[in-house]
Structure 1
Amino acid sequence: MQVSLARSALSVMAGAMSTAVAPPAPMPPSDWAEKNLKLPDGPLANEFWRRDMALHTVEIVDVFDPDNPVNEAAVMKSAQTAFTTALIIAAGYSIDRDPCRMMLVQPTSGALYDFNKEKLQPAIEASPVLARKVRPQSSRSGDGSTATSKQFAGGSLILAIASSAADLRSKTIKKTLLDEIDEYPDDLDGQGDPIDMIEARQISFLASGDWKRLKASTPTIKGASKIEAAYLAGDQRRWHVKCPGCGDRFVFEFDREHFRFNDEPPYNAHYVTPCCGTIIEGHEKNAVYRTGKWIPTAERPGAGRSYHFDAMSSPLVPWDEIAKKFCGIDGDPVKAKTFYNLWLGLPYEVRGDAPDHVRLLERRDGDLVRGHIPPLGLILTGAADVQLRGIYYEIKAYGPDRQKWIVDAGILEGDTNDPHAGAFLKLTEVFERSYPDAYGGSRRVDAFGVDSGYRSHVVYTWVRGRVGAFALKGLDGWSRPALGTGQAVDIDYNGKRIRNGVHVWGVGTWPLKAAHYDDLRKEGKKSGKETDPPGYVHFGSWLDEVYFRQITSEYLANENYRGRVRRVWKVRNGEENHFLDCTIYNDALADYLGLSRMTQEEWAALASDRCAPEVVKRPDLFSPDPLAVQKPPAPDAASIASPASRGTDRDDDDIGSYWDDY
């Protein structure tokens, strides 16, 4: 019997082989993620990614589809908007479906370490398709993955930092993922902008047109933000939702006319649509978000894709939280910048003009006594700026609503080449001095910082071993924290070398100077106001014109740098800025001690610890009433000098009635 086959064995084998080598069916990254990517953290940790929880990222990650003609996208965003996951989707999709050489760039080594440890590597291990394809770090072969390189068949994913020229040089890359570009340095080791260096790695793919690039960042300062510049250069897409009342489309904006809430809990935040006035309650936000789509607002020839997305639209952020953060600013310019950047995804506009030093001179307060801590000065810091023939210093007190008082300031004359003599010997006296307070006691500074930019090793030697003393170094840039993490450095003084002898703490001076000028512009009772506002700065009449000229000696200027515009602080011609440096370092130390983070209860506990009277300890510490009684006449010199006056004869009730009479 002869059996006739519909297909020969050869054709069956050929069909099987062709199926094995045929390219996979087209699948955009968003579809791939729903089927293959497990989330490393968050409320859906270890579950597959869901597009309904991040609809606004779909169009953006789909740029990485090889069939998508778009090469580049820029995203200006706030925090908690799921774009970190979007980076992982773009990388994971390429590993599985379009392997090639890729680079993902973080601003710092710390950010890169956290991203790999907390996000990328867990996602690879949790997602079966990625776990199979990415070679393990434990591989003994030379082609295994590392903490900074994910190896797979057909390509690799290099994890780089924007502050390392070695990471960015000599690598040909097809796809790049640039995270938090506003934190990249403007110039990398004299070799130029790191973004330009990264883009140069993709030149080989320009002719074929199959390169891909995604830039994402929270913005910083208006006019200086890299991501703002990229957003404005593109077609400026916004997430337009559909009004449940009339069907018109609009964008959720932070606008008190439409975004309404109470100024204290419960906030009851809700949105009134600009089209027909329909009220959208907070619990309805996510349902309305899911009606959204990206619409360009600045289409024009040559404009690429750019997006802006913030917490107002994010399904991850309740409106009440946004209201709470806004109400918590309370006149603090540093918190205002944080709110604009991290919650609204907008660059913060800084006024670069210095306040008039003559106006500041005119508002000096004759009731303040030099060297005396005011009643609400619960935090006390000191700072010094070392020069060739002397040391400038300032002692500064801070209250619960960030009001500030200059307690002392001056110049310590003498040589500065010996940490045990000359001006440094006088600085030791200032550091160890006890300053009388308004309650018959006295206190030393809580922290004291010295600029180590000049006479570095002399400063290191002086600081070493002194509890509460910090070696400080001013750092440029708008994304720096007020006081960073201390970095161990060697001391090399007088022929003696001490390895890791002291820690140097970086100070983010640029944002602090902007906040300093904002606070100087505030008007209080000296200008006819009922109270002194939060952040108001008090000056004693003993301060002279030199001091005021120096604390207003810089201005914010536009500077063209390697083809880009950046905003930088510059010293006015003929002026000096030593007292400005001192006051900025004091503000950094106060922030380190918790000035902007302490709760009312923590302030009350601090007041109790420092023997302040009940008028300061009471729960309404932040209300205008106690702030209106901040300046009792100073105790006479005899009572300050006499130890007997610090006994128990004068109790809190006596002091409280004394304040009431004032």
Structure 2
Amino acid sequence: MKISLARSALAVIAGAMALAVTPPAPLPPSAWAGENLVVPDGPRANERWDRALGLHCVEIVDALGPDSLENEIAVMKSAQTGFTTVLIISAGHSIDRDPCRMMIVQPTSGALSDFNKEKLQPAIEASPALAKKVRGVTSRSAEGSTATSKQFAGGSLTLAIASSAADLRSKTIKKAFLDEIDEYPDDLDGQGDPIEMVEARQISFLATGDWKRLKISTPTVKGASKIEAAYLAGDQRRWHVACPGCGDRFVFEFDRKHFRFNDEHPYQAHYVTPCCGTIIEGHEKNAVYRAGEYRPTATRPGVGRSYHFCAMSSPLVPWDEIARKFVEANGDPLKLKAFYNLWLGLPYEVRGDAPDHVRLMERRESDMTRGHIPPLGLILVGSADVQMRGIYYEIKAYGPDRQKWIVDAGIIEGETNDPHAGAFLKLAEVYERAWPDAYGGYRRVDAFGVDSGFRSHVVYTWVRGRNGAFALKGLDGWSRPALGTGTAVDIDFNGKRIRNGVHVWGVGTWPLKGAHYDDLRKEGMKAGQERDPSGYCHFGTWLDEVYFRQITSEYLANENFRGRVRRVWKVRAGEENHFLDCTIYNDALADYLGLSRMTTDEWATLASERCAPEVVKRPDLFSPQPLAVQKPNRPDAPPATDGAETGDVDERTASAGGDSFWDEY
């Protein structure tokens, strides 16, 4: 029997080979994600990416696809708006359909580890299209993936940190995804801007024009924010929604004229449209969002795309939550900065002009006694700034609404090259002193910080073994926390390495200085107001002009740095800033102890312990975290010296008794 085939064997084989090498049909990254990407976290964790909750991401991820002519995109956004998924979608789409060499850059090693462990790797493992292409991390082959390198046919995905020059200079890449760029250092180990280092990795693709670069971040401070600069350099696209009443397009803004809510619970947040006054209730927000679209607001020739998106438009964030966070900020500059950055996706404007020191002197209060804790001074901290032949110090008290009182300040004269003699011996007396309060009791400081920037080894030795004593170091930058995680130092006074030695705690001085000046500008009853506002600072008449000149000695200046303007604090010519350093360190310690986090009930508990008469105090009672209550000091502790000259220390305080709460542990 003779069998005749419609196609020859050669044709069948050729067709199969052609099918194998034929590239897949074009599929935009957003469509690919809807079909393939399993989201690792969020409201739809372990489900395929839901386009309905990420409409504001669609245009951005598609612009990063291989069929788009766009090269560079900047996104200025608020927190928790789903843009981390943009990184995963863009990388995942490339792995599956456009393999090449890519890099994702995170600001720190901790952020990189969290991103890989909690987001990227789970998404790869849960998404079949990626799991079958990314080589396993357990592969014994040198071509296997690792925690910081995902290997696949035709390319790789490198995970790098912005603080490692070795990471950023490692290889040529076609696509770069830079996350949270406002947290990148301005200069990496003297080798340049980390963003420029990444851009240099893409030079080889400039001629072909198929390179991609995404910059994404929550902003920090106006004029100093890297993502703000990138956003302003683009066409500034914003999410425009249609008014349900008249159909006009507008952007949801945080504007009390249009965004209205009660100043206490229930907030009943709603929006009044600027076009025709139609009221949009909170539960109607998502329906309005789904009809939105990006529109450029600063079109001009030659600019790329840039986007701004915030919680006001996000389907993931209820308006009542935005209202609550604003109300809870209560005028606190640090909380307002966080609100603008994390909830509105906007840079916070810091006023860099110092208040006039003469005006501050005019509001000194004659009823404040030097060395005495005021009635509402529930938290008591102290700080010192070490110089070559003397130590500046300040003792500061804080109340429930962030009001502040300077309890004592002065200069301890003497040599500072020996932690057991000279000025440090007298500083120990200040640290150990029991300060009289308004209720007949005595309290020592809850925490005491010493600047370790000068004579570091001496400071480490002095701090070592003293409960509640911190070796501090001021750090530049607008994204630094008030008090960061302590870093172990293991060198003793003789220069020998020791285990479990002193920790140095970094202080984010730049945001704290902005908040300090904001609070100094507030006017209270001395200026004719009905009450002293939250954050108001009280000064006694015993404080002299030197003190006031120093706490207002710096200003916020524009500085040209490697071709870019940045905002930095500078000391005015001819002035000194030692007392400013002390008061900023005190603010950091107070924040660490819970000044801005304690609830009304926690403050009430603390007040009942520290303000009650001695006969009803209970030594075994502790306040809620984060601040533990001091044990009451014995009632026979000697009073502090009133009206002492600057720099004088009461010799009796060293033996005055009165344990701080640190001694409870």
Q: What band does the TM-score fall into relative to the shorter chain?
A: over 0.9
Q: Does the CA contact (< 8 Å) of 1:375 and 1:612 recur in 2? A: no
Tell me the distance in 2 between the aligned counterparts of 1:277 and 1:573.
53
Partner residue in 1 for 2:513:
513
Q: Which residue is 2:243 aligned to?
A: 243
- Partner residue, 2:548: 548
Write the mapping of 1:110-189 to structure 2, written as runs, cut at 5 A: 110-189=110-189
| DSSP 3-state at the match of 2:542 | coil
How many equivalent residue pairs?
623
Task: Measure the CA separation in 1 of the matches of 2:279 and 2:168.
Answer: 50
Correspondences of 1:548-567 after superposition (within 5 Å): 548-567=548-567
| Matching of residues 79-94 of structure 1 within 5 Å | 79-94=79-94
Which residue of structure 1 aligns with residue 401 of structure 2? 401
Query: Does the 8 Å CA contact 2:435/2:640 hold for their aligned counterparts?
Result: no
**Equivalent-residue separation in structure 2 for 1:307 and 1:323 (angstroms):** 24
Structural mapping, 1:276-425, within 5 Å: 276-425=276-425
**How far is 1:568 from its partner?**
0.2
Task: Report Cα offsets for 1:15-48 as digits up to 9, x if no partner.
Answer: 1111111111100100110111111111111000
State whether residues 414 and 423 of structure 1, in contact with CA within 8 Å, keep that contact through their aligned partners in structure 2: yes
Describe how 1:216-231 pairs up with structure 2 within 5 A.
Answer: 216-231=216-231
Q: Matched residues in 2 for 1:68 and 1:639: separation?
A: 75
Aligned partner of residue 384 in structure 1, secondary structure: strand
Measure the CA separation in 1 of the matches of 2:612 and 2:531: 21
| Distance across 2 between alignment mates of 1:451 and 1:53 | 48
Pairwise CA distance, 1:114: 1.1
Distance apart, 1:276 and its partner CA: 1.3
1:131-153 deviation per Cα after TM superposition (whole angstroms, max 9, x unaligned): 11111111111111111111111
Partners of 1:570 and 1:500 in 2: how far apart? 36
Alignment of 1:533 with 2:527, yes or no, is no
Post-superposition Cα deviations, 1:566-615, rounded to whole Å, max 9, x if no partner, equal 0000000000000000000000000001101110000011112224379x
User: Cα deviations across residues 279-312 of structure 1 (Å, max 9, x unaligned)?
Assistant: 1100010010000011001110011000000000
Give the conservation status (yes or no) of the 8 Å contact 2:553–2:575: yes
SS of aligned partner of 1:20:
helix
Q: Is the 8 A contact 2:452 2:473 kept in 1?
A: yes
Match for 2:175: what amino acid? K
Matches of 2:314 and 2:640, distance apart in 1: 62
Residue 96 of structure 1 pairs with residue 96 of structure 2: yes
Q: Give secondary structure in 1 for the equivalent of 2:27.
A: coil
Q: Does the 8 A contact of 1:63 with 1:72 survive in 2?
A: no
Q: CA separation in 2, counterparts of 1:165 and 1:447? A: 37
CA distance in 1, matches of 2:640, 2:518: 39
Q: Which whole-Å CA distance do the structure 1 matches of 2:612 and 2:113 have between them?
A: 45
Distance in 1 between residues matched to 2:549 and 2:606, nearest whole Å: 34
Q: Mapping of 1:406-555 within 5 angstroms? A: 406-555=406-555
Measured after TM superposition, the shift of residue 497 of structure 1 is 2.9
SS in 2 for 1:501: coil
Amino acid at match of 2:223: G
The answer to which of 471-480 and 124-133 deviates more is: 124-133
Residues 1:426 and 1:287: Cα distance change in structure 2 (over 3 Å): same
3-state SS of the aligned residue for 1:497? Answer: coil
Question: 1:37 maps to which residue?
Answer: 37
Output the CA distance in 2 between the equivalents of 1:605 and 1:20.
72
- Find out whether 1:191 has 2:191 as its counterpart: yes
Whether contact under 8 Å (1:75, 1:231) holds in the other structure is yes
- Name the SS for the 1:253 alignment partner: coil
Output the amino acid matched with 2:580. Answer: L
Matched, 1:599 2:611: no
Q: Identical aligned pairs, as a percentage?
A: 83
- Which sits farther off after the overlay, 135-144 or 50-59? 135-144
Separation of aligned partners in 1, 2:464 and 2:29: 55
Distance verdict in 2 for CA 1:495–1:28, change over 3 Å:
closer
Find the counterpart in structure 1 of residue 624 from structure 2: none
Whole-Å Cα distance in 2 between the matches of residues 327 and 311 of structure 1? 16
Q: Which amino acid aligns with 1:224?
A: A
Please give the secondary structure, in 2, of the residue aligned with 1:588. helix
Once the 2 structures are TM-superposed, how far is the Cα of residue 410 of structure 1 from its aligned partner?
Answer: 0.6
Structure 1 vs Structure 2 CA RMSD: 1.8
Q: Per-residue deviation at 1:502?
A: 1.0
What amino acid is the match of 2:465? G
Q: 2:661 maps to which residue?
A: none
Given the superposition, is the C-alpha separation of residues 568 and 100 from structure 1 closer, same or farther in structure 2, using an over 3 Å criterion? same
Structure 1 spans left out of the alignment, 5+ residues: 618-635, 643-662
1:638 deviation in Å?
11
Question: How many Å separate the matches in 1 of 2:110 and 2:384?
Answer: 30
In structure 2, C-alpha distance between the alignment counterparts of 1:611 and 1:363, rounded to whole Å: 26
SS at match of 2:287: helix
Q: CA deviation at 1:544?
A: 0.6
**CA shift at 1:495, angstroms?**
4.3
User: 364-373 vs 127-136, which deviates more?
Assistant: 127-136
**Could you tell which deviates more after superposition, 4-13 or 481-490?**
4-13
Indicate the residue corresponding to 2:576 in structure 1: 576
Q: Distance in 2 between matches of 1:130 and 1:459?
A: 53
Q: CA deviation at 1:248?
A: 1.2
* Distance across 2 between alignment mates of 1:323 and 1:51: 27
Secondary structure at 2:556's aligned position in 1? strand
2:97 is matched by which residue type in structure 1? R
Distance in 1 between residues matched to 2:129 and 2:488, nearest whole Å? 43
Whether contact under 8 Å (1:71, 1:210) holds in the other structure is yes
1:446 to partner: Cα distance = 0.5
**Offset of residue 8 of structure 1:** 1.5
Task: State the AA in 1 paired with 2:210.
Answer: D
Question: Match for residue 620 of structure 1?
Answer: none
Give the aligned partner of residue 657 of structure 2: none
Amino acid in the other structure paired with 2:584: I
- How does the TM-score come out when normalised to structure 2? 0.92
How far is the alpha carbon of 1:126 from its aligned partner? 1.1
Runs of 4+ in 1 over 6 A off after TM superposition: 636-642
Distance 2:171 2:394 in 1: 50
Letter of the 1:607 partner, please give it: A
Distance in 2 (alpha carbons) for counterparts of 1:515 and 1:40: 38
Q: CA deviation at 1:3?
A: 3.5
In structure 1, C-alpha distance between the alignment counterparts of 2:84 and 2:590, rounded to whole Å: 32
Distance of 1:266 and 1:420 partners within structure 2: 58
User: 1:633 aligns to what?
Assistant: none
- Supply the AA of the counterpart residue of 1:304: G
Identify which range, 7-16 or 45-54, moves more after superposition. Answer: 7-16
Deviates more, 1:361-370 or 1:3-12: 3-12
